[in-house]
Structure 1
Amino acid sequence: MSEKAEKKQSALWENVKVIVQALLLAMVIRTVLFQPFTIPSGSMMPTLLVGDYLFVNKFSYGYSKYSLPFSPNLFSGRILQFSEPKRGDVVVFRLPPNPDVDYIKRLVGLPGDRIQVTNGVLFVNGQPVPKQPDGAFTSDYRADPGSNVPVFRETFDNGVTFDTLDQSPDSRGDNTREFLVPEGHYFMMGDNRDNRWIAVSMLVSCLPKI
Structure 2
Amino acid sequence: MPHVLVPTARWERWVDNFVARHGEARLVVDDGGLRGEAEDGSHFSARLPFATTYDGPAEAAAFASAAVAPGEWGVLLVRKGGFAVARLRGTEMAEHKIGQRHVQGRTKAGGQSQQRFARRRDNQARQAYDAAADHAARILPSSGPLVTGGDHPAVEAVLADPRLSGLTVVGPWHAVPDPRRAVLDAVVGDAQALVVEVTNA
TM-score interval, normalised by the smaller of the two chains: under 0.3
TM-score by length of 2: 0.25
More helix by share: 2
Q: Which has the higher contact order (CA 8 A, sep 6+)?
A: 2
TM-score by length of 1: 0.24
